[in-house]
Amino acid sequence: MDDLDSQSDVYSHNNNYVTWTRAGCSAGGLASFLHCDNFTSYLPANASVKCSSDAGFFLDERDIGLNHTIRSFYDDLITLQGVEQNLDKNCTSSLFYPKQCFFPQYALPFIRTPFFILNSAYDVFQFHHILVPPSADLQGRWNRCKLNPIACNTNQLDNLQAFRKDMLAALRLFFEYSRRGGMFINSCFAHCQSESQDTWFAPNSPRIHNKKQLEIGTLGEGSLRKLTVNILVTLPAIT
């Protein structure tokens, strides 16, 4: 951070203001939620700072066996790394279970820096490790469905649709009331969508206002709210 601070001083000297964007994918996207405001605090007061997360909105959701597998995993991780003290104090003081603030859905309302969220409502990592972790499917009944959603049976599709609805519900308040943030939530079976140049910058890649998502400069200019799609999510990818 000291090196980052010295660099920002250089840019501030050469410009009226400097724009910084803190972005990450998967675990890096989760880090954006957890450290966005702290990152901002290291920069000059005249810096324009925005944060974004690609596939980092990990949901606090029960698995198909109704167990809190991911919550238990995060609890152990927080204890192992001793990071509870670093979680947002406003968030931890508002919850009976402070460690839940490691989940973006609880931390998001307390983030002050403009924030843009890119995520799939059918995030495949969360499908495979939160909704249907190996511990919840010892018989392997979900194996074919995991490999190809077309192979999912009616009950499995219902579980996937319920997961999608819960993710949208967790994002709804931010979607409806945030004036400094934005989001693009789609129905792709994907994880970390913006990393692949071949697909993300292809002629048929996702666009908002005729701009390729996360195109260089897009997050640095204007309001993130303007980058939010008018509907919360595309039609379900599976019926």
Q: Which residues are catalytic, by number?
A: 26, 123, 191
Which residues in 181-195 are b (16+ Cβ under 10 Å) and which e?
Answer: bbbbbbebebbbbbe
CB atoms within 10 A of CB 130: 22
What DSSP assignment string belongs to 69-136? HHHHHHHHHHHHHT-GGGS-HHHHTT-SSGGGGGSHHHHGGG--S-EEEEEETT-HHHIIIIIS-GGG
Positive or negative: CA dihedral 179, 55, 27, 140: positive
In DSSP terms, 118 is beta-bridged to: 54, 184
- Give the Cα separation of 81 and 102 in Å (integer): 12
Helix (H) or strand (E) holding 50: strand 48-54
